[in-house]
Amino acid sequence: MARILVVEDDDNQRLLYKMELSREGYEVDVAADGQEAIDKVKANQYDAVVMDLKMPKVHGLDAITEIAAIDKELPIIINTAYGGWQDDFKSWAAQAYVLKSSDLSELRVQIQKAVEKRQKAN
Amino acid sequence: MSEKRKILLIDDDSVMHDLVRAFLTRVGYEFISAMSGEQGLEMARSEKPDLILLDYLMPDLDGVEVYRRLREDPGFEALREVPVIMLTAREEDGHLRSRMLEKGVFAYLSKPFGLHELRNVIENAFIASEINRRNRQLQDEIRRARDYLQHVIDAAPVGVFATDTEGKIVLANDFMARLFQVDSPQKLIGRDTLSVGLGGAPEPLAAVRMVLQEGESYATEHLRFHSPDGRLLYLNVRVVPLREGDGNLRGAIGIVEDITEAEKRAVEMTMLTQIAQAMQGTIDIEEMLHLILTCATAGEALGFSRAMIFLISEDGRELRGTMGVGPSSPQEAVAIWSSLSHEKMSLPEFLEKYGRRKPDPRSRFNNMVKELRHPLEESDCVLARAVREKRTFVVEHGRLKSGEPAQCEWFTEVFGTDQFVCVPLVAGGRTIGLLVADNLYTGHPIDDSLVQLLTLMANQAGLAIERARAHADLAAQKKRLERTIEKLWEMQERLVEAEKLATVGQLAAQVAHEIRNPLVTIGGFARSILEAPKSEEEMKVIAGVIVEEAQRLENILNNVLDFTRLSKPKPERSDLNDMVQKALFLVQDELEKNKIRLEKKLAYDLPAVYVDQQQMRQVLLNLLYNSIDSMKGGGTLRVETGLRDEEHVFVKIQDTGPGMDEEVLQNMFNPFFTTKSDGTGLGMPIAKQIVHGHGGRLIVDSKVGEGTTFTIVVPIKGEIARTAEEKEALHET
């Protein structure tokens, strides 16, 4: 079973992603901010990371940079309400950039791809 | 008398000799005698007798001839006063007797005469002689005293005169003769004091008549007197009655003082003052120049025929004819003078009427002056020299006073005169131009006092021109400034508009993003319900989330509305301390719950401010909640009010929370920036906008680990109103 980490500061959205992605059959771990995400990547093995960007303590983009430094091959999917971050080169380390939507199908597709890529590499 | 008196007898009769000698020596006289006229004259010269007895009938020279020589011939001067007694043997000749007595013979004795009679006559003669001597001595003394008096009077530096009761002059001194221009004071004697001034009204000595009529002294001061040669003199005349010992009026005596010089100086000072005052009345440069030239040409002032001003070009290389005032031709001059002489005006009136306006554009003379240009460099012309040397030059017949040629042929050619004066106009140590004046039409000489006066006036004129120029510069700069300010206002208005639009755009974008999160959550759960059936437990959780997120959306919406709807504050007179107290009351529970200690320091004499109370309360609450939120584990909240300066009050809200880092500080006023999970990120932008809307400032000071201080600074008088007032005031000026 693929294991994914959802990084999201909004409590209710964390709940939503956990519920929905679990239903997809993933083992879902969550983090409420960038720092917690970094700590969890260090401690655990994931097949993909879903990363919100605008978060307290450590910003998503900084967390991405940190995570890439820990595990270069770990696919990261940016999931944000803001389109603007695509211009920031730090976001280019991510595999995919998904605009937040109540329709999670795009996010599901990107997670699927990432997990496949990760498992193929392993 | 110690010495004996010496008596000389001239007689051809020797019996007479013996007789008279015997008698006269006996009665104490020294006696000498001569037998003929010639011998007698000889003896008289050598012996100098005190008395001569002269026989009438003698051969050769008779007594009459001897007497004549004694009295008239040179050589007998010492004997002129010696009494002579004529002796005659002739019958009584009444005619001869009276003739001789008339000629000064003291007595006439007919022979035969008694010796006692002779003695009486001799003694009488001596007495008479003594009386005569004393009389002459007295007369001498009187004459000397009178001469001395006349000398004193003549030497007096004032006119002295006396009149009889008719007002006719009986005494006058040299000063009076000079005043009325006669050869000697004698020529004034007998003249009537009412006509001595040749009818030049008013008669200078007319006061005499008053004194004679009233019997009291009388003085006239600052009397204008045109002397016979046409000069205008100013006199002070004082006349007092002259009375005899019994109090009867005998005439009048008077003193005349020439105060022309002092008066002239006083008049000049008054005139300069009036000119200076007139110059201060205008700041228009052209009016100023015209006024200066009018002063130079006004008859009441300096009275030049024509006057012109040259100003130095900005590069300092050229003299430029700037303005001229004066007639263009002799005919015009006559016309102007005759019309002016009808209007009897004081100098200030004249300057007010003719000075304070711009020159007549039709004046040929003015136009002629305005066309002139003269290079200053390498020119030895007197005009260039006056500029360079900052000196006044008087040119007469093309030459300076020093005799040097004026080298001003070009000027003479244009203006038709080689007699003029040029005075530099100096301001702040710098020559800014020249004032040139001439007497072309009157032909009057340009005398020193006139030049001095013109120089004094030019000094004032230089400063006045400089002042007018400075004012013109200032006016131009003010205009530029006004235009700049006008533009700035426009730009500011445009900027405000642009900023508003930008804010609205930014806000729209932010709102769009901000509502995305709750929408994602609500929509996500809704889809989740659609896609897969949920347990009742799950449904409860989901419903709770949806309610919460919907609430969040509503909050966002309310804040956005607050932010966009922030209307112009409706200021009312408010007590900031009172507002702070009420706000603190509202957060009291929060403070207690979080164990936050409150320290208040409210200024008791805080002036009232004009604020929108509702808006300001919102700001206070927002800042208080921020501070409380930063001290969840307890701390101290300090709230202070006071005067910041004369025009502003402040409210300071200080916490002992963790403080803010650089990023938060930079973004805290951006809409939707928040560090709180449940914050909208609009509280601070709204607070700032409200404070700014009141013309105030919201200052944040924060240090990580120490805490944060918010300071609201509000102007005491409503800033919005004042800005509007200022803008209006600026437009009016």
The CATH number assigned to the domain holding B211 equals 3.30.450.20
pLDDT confidence of residue B652: 95
**Omega within 30 of 0 (cis) for the link into B112:** yes
What is the tens place of the pLDDT at every residue in A22-60?
A: 998 999 999 999 999 999 999 999 999 999 988 877 888
The CATH number assigned to the domain holding A75 equals 3.40.50.2300
Burial of B344 (0-12, 13-18, 19+ CB in 10 A): exposed
Does A11 reach chain B within 8 Å, measured CB to CB? yes
B160 within 8 A of B171, measured Cβ to Cβ = yes
Q: Which two tokens stand for residue A32?
A: 């409420």
Counting Cα atoms < 13 Å in the Cβ hemisphere of B321 gives: 17
Does A12 reach chain B within 8 Å, measured CB to CB? yes
Residue B303, Ramachandran bin (φ over 0: left; ψ between -120 and 50: alpha; else beta): left
Which domain covers residue A66, as residue numbers? 3-121
Q: Which two tokens stand for residue A82?
A: 């803001």
pLDDT confidence of residue B90: 65
pLDDT at B503 over 70: no
What is the tens place of the pLDDT at every residue in B693-706?
A: 888 899 999 999 89
B116 and B160 within one domain = no
Mean pLDDT for B625-631 is 90
- What are the chain A neighbours of B556 within 8 Å (beta carbons)? none
pLDDT confidence of residue B566: 62
Mean pLDDT for B560-583 is 78
- Residue B400 or residue B567, greater confidence: B400
The string of DSSP letters for B63-126 reads: HHHHHHHHHHSTT-GGGTTS-EEEEE-S---HHHHHHHHHHT--EEEESS--HHHHHHHHHHHH
Helix, strand, coil tally for chain A in percent (to 5):
50, 20, 30
C-beta atoms of B520 and A100 within 8 A: yes
* B407 falls within a domain: yes
Tell me which of A78-92, B120-134, B487-501 is least confident: B487-501
B161 and B57 within one domain = no
Does A20 reach chain B within 8 Å, measured CB to CB? yes
Does B257 reach chain A within 8 Å, measured CB to CB? no
Neighbouring residues of B596: CB distance < 8 A, sequence distance ≥ 6: B590, B628, B631, B634, B635, B636, B637
In total, how many domains does chain B have? 5
Tally C-beta pairs within 8 A across A and B: 51
Mean pLDDT for B316-324 is 89
Q: Which two tokens stand for residue B66?
A: 């001897």
Neighbouring residues of B687: CB distance < 8 A, sequence distance ≥ 6: B618, B619, B622, B623, B698
B392 and B329 within one domain = yes
In the β-sheet with A27-31, what is the strand arrangement from edge to edge?
Answer: A27-31, A3-7, A48-51, A76-80, A96-99
Chain centre to alpha carbon of residue B213:
44
ipTM: 0.86
A74 within 8 A of A121, measured Cβ to Cβ = no
pLDDT at B340 over 90: no
The counts of H helices and E strands in chain B are 22, 24
Tell me which of B2-6, B173-177, B252-256, B468-472 is least confident: B2-6
d(CA B336, CA B323): 19
Counting Cα atoms < 13 Å in the Cβ hemisphere of B115 gives: 12
- Residue B496 or residue B160, greater confidence: B160
Q: How far is B621 from chain A (nearest CA, A)?
A: 24
Residue B238: pLDDT band (50, 70, 90) is very high
pLDDT confidence of residue B343: 63
What is the tens place of the pLDDT at every residue in B367-391?
A: 889 888 888 888 888 999 999 899 9
In total, how many domains does chain A have? 1
| CA-wise closest residue to B733 among B467, B483, B470, B493 | B483
- Residue B575 or residue B232, greater confidence: B575
Continuous segment of H or E residues that includes residue B550: helix B536-565
B574 and B712 within one domain = yes
Catalogue the E-assigned strands of B409-486.
420-427, 430-438
- Residue B168 gets which letter from DSSP? B
Secondary structure of residue B514 in the 3-state scheme: helix
Q: How far is A97 from chain B (nearest CA, A)?
A: 16
pLDDT confidence of residue B139: 93
B402 and B288 within one domain = yes
Strands A3-7 and A48-51, bridge-based pairing:
parallel
Best residue of A19, A20, A106 to probe chain B, by most B CBs closer than 10 Å: A19
What is the tens place of the pLDDT at every residue in B664-710?
A: 888 888 777 777 666 667 788 888 888 888 888 999 999 998 999 99
Residue with tokens 């679990």: A22
Give the C-alpha distances (Å, rounded to integers) separating B183 from B162, B174, B629.
Answer: 18, 9, 118
* B250 falls within a domain: yes
- What are the chain A neighbours of B667 within 8 Å (beta carbons)? none
d(CA A31, CA A5): 7
Does A56 reach chain B within 8 Å, measured CB to CB? yes
pLDDT confidence of residue A4: 95
Q: Which two tokens stand for residue B611?
A: 């604020």
**Closest residue in chain B to residue A33, using alpha carbons only:** B677
Which domain covers residue B534, as residue numbers? 481-543
* Other beta carbons less than 10 A from residue B682's beta carbon: 26
C-beta atoms of A101 and B545 within 8 A: no
Tell me which of B136-140, B153-157, B294-298, B725-729 is least confident: B725-729
pLDDT confidence of residue B1: 46
Mean pLDDT for A76-81 is 91
Secondary structure of residue B51 in the 3-state scheme: strand
Q: How far is A52 from chain B (nearest CA, A)?
A: 11
Secondary structure of residue B31 in the 3-state scheme: strand
Does A59 reach chain B within 8 Å, measured CB to CB? no
The neighbouring-strand residues paired with B396 are B399
B185 and B90 within one domain = no
pLDDT at B724 over 50: no
| CA-wise closest residue to B572 among B725, B688, B720 | B720
Burial of B30 (0-12, 13-18, 19+ CB in 10 A): middle
pLDDT confidence of residue B597: 93
Average pLDDT, chain B: 83
pLDDT confidence of residue B501: 64
pLDDT at B344 over 70: no
* B307 falls within a domain: yes
The CATH number assigned to the domain holding B667 equals 3.30.565.10
pLDDT confidence of residue B514: 75
B24 and B65 within one domain = yes
B506 and B444 within one domain = no
Does B548 reach chain A within 8 Å, measured CB to CB? yes
What are φ and ψ of residue B191, in 5° steps? -75, 150
Tell me which of B363-367, B484-488, B591-595, B716-720 is least confident: B716-720
pLDDT confidence of residue B638: 95
pLDDT at B733 over 50: no
pLDDT confidence of residue B720: 53
pLDDT at A66 over 60: yes
What is the tens place of the pLDDT at every residue in B206-217?
A: 888 888 888 889
What is the tens place of the pLDDT at every residue in B196-209?
A: 776 555 678 888 88
* Other beta carbons less than 10 A from residue B105's beta carbon: 21
The counts of H helices and E strands in chain A are 4, 5
What is the tens place of the pLDDT at every residue in B390-399?
A: 999 999 888 8
- What are the chain A neighbours of B527 within 8 Å (beta carbons)? 102-104
Q: At what angle do helices B719-732 and B448-531 cross, to 10 degrees?
A: 140
The neighbouring-strand residues paired with B650 are B642, B713
Q: Which of A23, A82, A102 sits opposite B519 (nearest CB)?
A: A102
Average pLDDT, chain A: 90
Does B513 reach chain A within 8 Å, measured CB to CB? yes
B485 and B470 within one domain = no
List all residues of chain B from 646 to 705 with a beta carbon under 8 Å from chain A.
Answer: 675, 677
pLDDT confidence of residue B624: 92
- Residue B614 or residue B566, greater confidence: B614
B668 and B625 within one domain = yes
B495 and B413 within one domain = no
B224 and B84 within one domain = no
What is the tens place of the pLDDT at every residue in B504-562?
A: 666 677 677 778 888 889 999 998 888 888 888 888 989 999 998 888 888 888 777 76
* B730 falls within a domain: no
Does A92 reach chain B within 8 Å, measured CB to CB? no
| CA-wise closest residue to B86 among B9, B1, B193 | B9
Mean pLDDT for B97-103 is 82
| Domain stop point among B258, B290, B315 | B258
